[in-house]
């Protein structure tokens, strides 16, 4: 047995690597053997330092708003990959594709006939009270009939190892640049292991994204110009914006670079005004156009929505997708799948209680210390209560908030997310992880094999967000499981979904 895993505490959670103490799962056997050949922890820490330095030198950083001294941090990276066998990925891919189809149909419906509301499958007040429902978009003929183009769906595994959907991110999901950079670093640090495992490549993502954006351009434009609209260099995801623009070979623009004249969008170039046809915007709806949404926004482009409505420019994601990733709307996604596709959901949600439902509300209020309570519109791990990790005062504070505004909260049981071995200061220890695959909805639905595995590096923490001390791992989706089975007796484990 490898020294490095000698004192590994398997814990009471689902462990991605170990079926039991000292017994790696079949698809981790090769990595287990490889790590067994390392001399000591210091060998591993040396590789970890090499990887960290590579990130610093490449400037793969994110910005922390509150930190004025050194505003750039690297998103901590953990060397031990999360490995997903091919048969497991096939199920995830089917489930995510199904979910994307249903969400696209839901958004199409919500901004036109609203059949799903009329038939009572989703309560109309859920839509009408949603902060992200955009009445301005009612009846709008969306280019190519695509009402949502990119989704980052967060998945977790519970104590039994079953995959569950945690939430959808249908506005401006971020993190994909880390997936691509993590792979580059792993290629340097573990080239042989990566090759021997036959890991599916992620590198076509930028090309797939560019094809999607070109697909959205107004049909009469022979050579459309695509740009990426960023809030600016001080945005926490700026590295990603710049990275993706560079990978796609498109211009990265700020609001002040764009002007609208006669309902057409132009960018200010040194020699004059150049037409723009597709905008991959990494800016929330609220900030896009101060003449329509928030008048105090300096980030947006006055007149942009007018040009959009005239069909002169395409936006990705479209305006108004947020109505479907509201954490309360999440509750209804399995019903949407049934309603629009006539299918049962392949990927299940986490059991969810809606504070807006009187029965659920009384359950929530009675069980707050056991539950996770989330504000429906917040992201990034903000505005949530993790009952078992909170003080009585914090719980009391949330109780008051939930009672005051039930529509704004949902509750879920506290799930012990699966753990994956991670390189910690002195030893390898289990840390909780989740997974965000990226789903592109263009001419066809394309899903990058894998996605961003986020890891809660603080001991015991269940919150994986980068703003809350989270890091990431490379995600290895295997091209086939032959290699895995050939090494072990018996077939792969049964996948529970």
Partner 1 sequence: MLSRVANLVYWMARQLERAENTARIVDVNAQLVLDLQSRQAADDPRSWEPLVFVAGNDEKFFELYGKTVSERAVVEFMLFDRRNPSSVLSCVSQARENARCIRDLLAAEVWETLNTFYLKLKDDDFARYAQLGSSEYLNRVKAQIQLFYGVAESMLPRSDEWWFFQLGRYLERADNTSRILDVKYYMLLPEVAAVGTALDMIQWGSVLRSCSAFEAFRRSRRGQLNLERVVDFLVRDELFPRSILYSVAEMEQALLRIVNGDDHLIGNPASLAATTLRQELESTDSPAVISDGLHEFLDLIQKRIDEIHAAIQSTFIDYPTSRAKILA
Q: What stretch of H or E contains 167?
A: strand 163-167
CA–CA gap between residue 240 and residue 62 (Å, rounded): 9
Backbone angles phi, psi at 216, to 5 degrees: -85, -10
Identify which of residues 252 and 402 has a Cβ nearer to partner 1 in the complex.
252
Contact call for residues 277 and 314 (beta carbons, < 8 A)? yes
SS3 272: strand
Q: How far, CA to CA in Å, does 235 sit from each of 283, 371, 442, 472? A: 10, 32, 27, 20
Q: Which of 273, 365, 445, 495 binds partner 1 (CB under 8 A)?
A: 273
What's the rounded Cα separation, in Å, for the pair 11 and 460?
11
Query: Is residue 271 near partner 1 by the rule CB under 8 A?
Result: yes
**370-384-149-290 Cα dihedral, nearest 10 degrees:** 160
Determine if 252 is a binding residue for partner 1 (CB under 8 A).
yes
DSSP conformation class of 201: P
Min dist. Cβ of residue 180 to partner 1 (A) = 13
| CB contact set of 272 (below 8 Å; sequence gap of 6+) | none
242: tokens are 């710049």
Candidate list 275, 369, 380, 491; residue touching partner 1; CB under 8 A = 275
Query: What SS3 class is residue 472?
Result: strand
Shortest CB 181 distance to partner 1, Å: 11
Q: Could you tell me the smallest distance in angstroms from the CB atom of residue 375 to partner 1?
A: 33
Query: Which residue of 50, 256, 343, 487 would you call a contact of partner 1, by CB under 8 A?
Result: 256
Report the nearest approach of partner 1 to the CB of residue 263 (Å). 14
Q: Within 13 A of 145's CA, how many CA atoms are on the CB side? A: 6
CB distance 335 to 329 below 8 Å: no
Count of residues in contact with partner 1, rule CB under 8 A: 29
Give the nearer residue to partner 1 in terms of CB position, either 130 or 297.
297
Residue 272 within binding range of partner 1, rule CB under 8 A: yes
| Residue 379, CA atoms < 13 Å, CB-side half-sphere | 17
Q: Please choose, out of 84-92, 155-163, 242-250, 369-377, the segment that lies near partner 1 by the rule CB under 8 A.
A: 242-250
Least gap, CB of 448 to partner 1 (angstroms): 21
If the CB atoms of residues 57 and 192 are measured against partner 1, the closer one turns out to be 57
- The reply on whether position 386 binds partner 1 by CB under 8 A is no
Q: Is the dihedral of CA 80, 85, 88, 91 positive or negative?
A: positive
State which residue, 266 or 476, has the beta carbon closest to partner 1. 266
Q: Which is nearer to partner 1, 120 or 249 (CB)?
A: 249
**Residue located via tokens 């004192």:** 7
Which secondary-structure segment (H or E) carries 410?
strand 409-413
**Chain mean position to CA 197:** 25
Pick one of 242, 377, 465, 468: the residue that binds partner 1 (CB under 8 A).
Answer: 242
Beta bridge partner(s), residue 24: 18
What would the x/- binding string for partner 1 be over residues 209 to 238, using CB under 8 A?
------------------------x----x
CB of 249 to partner 1, least distance (A): 9
Tell me whether residue 261 or residue 351 sits nearer to partner 1 (CB atom): 261
Q: Which residue has the tokens 């709008």?
A: 140
Interacting residue with partner 1 among 176, 179, 253, 457 (CB under 8 A): 253
| Stretch 34-63 residues interacting with partner 1 (CB under 8 A) | 56-59
Q: Considering the rule CB under 8 A, would residue 114 count as an interface residue with partner 1?
A: no
Q: What are the distances in angstroms from CA 19 to CA 10, 190, 380, 415, 476? A: 9, 24, 31, 19, 19
Which residue in this structure is represented by tokens 């220890």?
Answer: 429
Site for partner 1 contains 280 (CB under 8 A): no
Question: In the bound complex, what is the minimum distance in angstroms from residue 260's beta carbon to partner 1?
Answer: 10
Q: Does 489 bind partner 1 (CB under 8 A)?
A: no
List, in sequence order, the alpha helices (H) in 119-161. Answer: 124-128
Tokens at 278, concatenated: 């597709």
Check residue 68 for interaction with partner 1 (CB under 8 A): no
Nearest approach, Cβ of 235 to partner 1 (angstroms)? 11
Q: Report in angstroms how near the CB of residue 423 gets to partner 1 at its nearest.
A: 24
Q: How far is the CB of 234 from partner 1 (least distance, A)?
A: 10
Matching residue, tokens 């005239």 = 310
Residue closer to partner 1 by CB (options 274, 496) is 274
Among 106, 190, 197, 243, which residue sits at the site for partner 1 (rule: CB under 8 A)?
A: 243
- Closest distance to partner 1 from the beta carbon of 62 (Å): 12
- For partner 1, the binding residues (CB under 8 A) are 56-59, 233, 238-239, 242-243, 245-246, 251-254, 256-257, 259, 261, 266-275
């Amino acid at each position: 047995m490898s020294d490095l895993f000698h004192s590994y505490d398997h814990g009471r959670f689902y462990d991605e690597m170990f079926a039991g103490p000292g017994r790696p799962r079949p698809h981790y056997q090769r990595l287990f053997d490889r790590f067994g050949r390392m001399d000591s922890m210091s060998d591993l820490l040396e590789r970890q330092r090499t990887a960290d330095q590579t990130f610093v030198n490449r400037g793969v950083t994110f910005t922390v708003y509150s930190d004025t001294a050194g505003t750039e941090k690297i998103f901590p990276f953990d060397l031990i990959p999360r490995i997903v066998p091919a048969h497991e990925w096939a199920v995830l891919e089917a489930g995510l594709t199904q979910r994307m189809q249903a969400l696209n149909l839901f958004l199409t419906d919500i901004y036109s006939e609203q059949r799903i509301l009329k038939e009572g499958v989703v309560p109309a007040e859920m839509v009408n009270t949603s902060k992200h429902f955009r009445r301005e978009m009612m009846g709008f003929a969306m280019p190519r009939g695509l009402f949502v183009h990119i989704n980052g769906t967060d998945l977790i595994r519970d104590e039994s190892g079953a995959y569950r959907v945690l939430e959808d991110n249908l506005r401006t999901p971020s993190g994909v640049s880390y997936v691509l950079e993590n792979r580059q670093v792993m290629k340097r640090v573990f080239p042989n292991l990566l090759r021997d495992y036959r890991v599916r490549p992620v590198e076509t993502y930028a090309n797939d994204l560019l094809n999607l954006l070109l697909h959205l351009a107004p049909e009469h434009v022979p050579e459309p110009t695509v740009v990426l609209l960023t809030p600016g260099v001080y945005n926490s995801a700026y590295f990603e914006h710049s990275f993706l623009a560079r990978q796609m070979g498109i211009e990265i623009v700020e609001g002040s670079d764009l002007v609208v004249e006669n309902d057409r969008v132009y960018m200010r170039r040194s020699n004059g005004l150049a037409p723009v046809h597709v905008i991959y915007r990494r800016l929330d709806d609220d900030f896009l156009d101060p003449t329509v949404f928030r008048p105090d926004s300096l980030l947006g482009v006055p007149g942009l929505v007018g040009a959009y409505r005239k069909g002169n420019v395409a936006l990705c994601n479209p305006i108004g997708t947020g109505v479907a990733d509201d954490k309360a709307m999440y509750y209804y996604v399995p019903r949407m799948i049934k309603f629009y596709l006539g299918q049962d959901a392949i990927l299940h949600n986490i059991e969810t209680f809606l504070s807006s439902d009187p029965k659920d509300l009384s359950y929530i209020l009675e069980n707050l210390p056991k539950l996770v309570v989330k504000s429906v519109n917040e992201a990034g791990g903000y505005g949530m209560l993790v009952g078992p990790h909170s003080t009585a005062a914090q719980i009391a504070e949330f109780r008051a908030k939930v009672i005051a505004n039930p529509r704004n909260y949902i509750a879920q049981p506290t799930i012990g997310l699966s753990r994956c071995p991670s390189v910690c200061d002195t030893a390898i220890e289990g840390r909780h992880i989740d997974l965000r695959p990226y789903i592109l909805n263009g001419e066809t639905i394309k899903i990058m094999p894998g996605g961003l595995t986020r890891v809660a590096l603080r001991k015991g923490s269940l919150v994986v967000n980068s703003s809350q001390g989270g890091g990431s791992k490379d995600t290895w989706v295997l091209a086939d499981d032959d290699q895995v089975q050939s090494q072990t007796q018996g077939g792969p484990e049964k996948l529970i979904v």
